Structure 1
Amino acid sequence: MMMSIAAFCLAYAGFSALCLAMDRHYEDVFDRELPRRHRASLRIVGWIALALSLWASAAVWGWSYGTVEWIGILSFAGLLLIWFVSYRPVAAISAGGLCAVAAPVLAWV
């Protein structure tokens, strides 16, 4: 159960990093232009977090059911982020950072 929550946290954190890698969302959060050197690193971190989310789901349910669970987690995390970033962009990205910190703790428990 906790590993599935960790998978959700990793997915949300990954989508948050990918969201920040976009000019518009970065400017909404930080009120300045996205530096080019940050764009690639945010994308890499985002994709790594999504891959770790898949691994966490597969660790709990195996690769067949874990992949199905992961797709559901991606859908829920993505929709939650889209909704949250529309109304409170700073809080949405802060929640992504909190999820990035919480995921390893939840996976360890």
Structure 2
Amino acid sequence: MSIAAFFCAYAGFSALCLGMDRHYEAVFDRALPSRHRVMLRLVGASALALSLWLSTRVWGWSYGAVEWIGILSFAGLMLIWWVSYRPVAALVAGAVCAMVAPLILIPTLT
């Protein structure tokens, strides 16, 4: 579950990153439409909330919140470092994380 929480956090940060004008224009070479901005921010916040839920589901609120902050730190640093050099690849990795996280979760939730 910690891996799935990390994937959700990275995907959430990637969506929030794409919700910014500068990063969206770097990837797509056009201005960010306002409807995409709202959608990306909602998806990003939802993915981060799901990451918190996954961390606290396994470890409880006391240790799960601490683990979640560590996961956020690691995912955020990875995205920051990677988006500086390869913005398209960093954000594609976010999409891959968003697709892989449910595949990891399905066996553990049943």
The secondary structure found in structure 1 opposite 2:31 is coil
Per mean C-alpha deviation after superposition, the further-off stretch among 75-84 and 56-65 is 56-65
TM-score (norm. length: structure 1): 0.96
Structure 1 residue runs of 4 or more that deviate by more than 6 Å after TM superposition: none
**Deviations, residues 26-76 of structure 1 (Å, cap 9, x unaligned):** 001111110111000100000000000000001111111000000000000
Is 1:62 aligned to 2:60, yes or no? Answer: yes
Aligned to 1:21: 19
One-letter amino acid of the structure 1 residue matched with residue 49 of structure 2:
A
The secondary structure found in structure 1 opposite 2:63 is helix
TM-score (norm. length: structure 2): 0.95
Identical aligned residues as a percent: 74
The secondary structure found in structure 1 opposite 2:30 is coil
Which ranges in structure 2 are unaligned for 5 or more consecutive residues? none
Count of aligned pairs: 107
Is 1:106 aligned to 2:100, yes or no? Answer: no
